[in-house]
Amino acid sequence: MDAVLKQKRGHSFIDFTEADLSIQREGELNDLLSLCHYHDSDFILIDAANLSDEFFNLRSGLAGAAMQKFANYQVRVAVLLPENAEHSERFKELMYEMNGSNHFRFYRHREEAENWLISRRAGSTR
């Protein structure tokens, strides 16, 4: 799994936006958590292109599992969505709800996503 550890204002985050990665099942979420542990970082930036169609299909349960797992392990995840991304109404509702959370959010712009990841409210103990 390709990952780049990046720094911003003294905080490190794992950047998967240019990785050859496709999260298709729940077990792959554990790989992301392992990388967090390995890099001693609680912050992940990922591109929507790295998420399978199953992630955006709420019936699969993959999005819910991801959000719960990252919250349980206190890992912050920002997902970059393209400007013209089309999603179901139910997924849009989930995005709206999650954008109020402290662990998983969706962004259109990289700068905003990075700033949220490393903000003081992160609550990271690392």
The CATH number for 46's domain is 3.30.750
Closest CA to 62 of 74, 73, 50: 50
pLDDT score, position 122: 47
The first and second tokens of residue 71, run together, are 């919250």
Element (H, E) at 6: strand 4-8
Residue 37 and residue 63: Cα distance in Å, rounded? Answer: 21
Which range marks the domain in which residue 62 is found? 4-122
Residue 59 and residue 90: Cα distance in Å, rounded? Answer: 10
Q: Which residues of the chain have pLDDT under 70?
A: 1-2, 120-126
pLDDT score, position 79: 94
The first and second tokens of residue 59, run together, are 């019936």
pLDDT score, position 125: 41
Amino acid (1-letter code) at residue 24: Q
Residue 17 and residue 2: Cα distance in Å, rounded? Answer: 10
Residue 64 and residue 72: Cα distance in Å, rounded? Answer: 12
Q: In Å, how far are 43, 82, 86 from 70, measured between CA atoms? A: 10, 22, 24
User: What pTM, to 2 d.p., does this model score?
Assistant: 0.86
Structural domain tally of the chain?
Answer: 1
pLDDT score, position 123: 47
Largest CA distance in the chain: 39
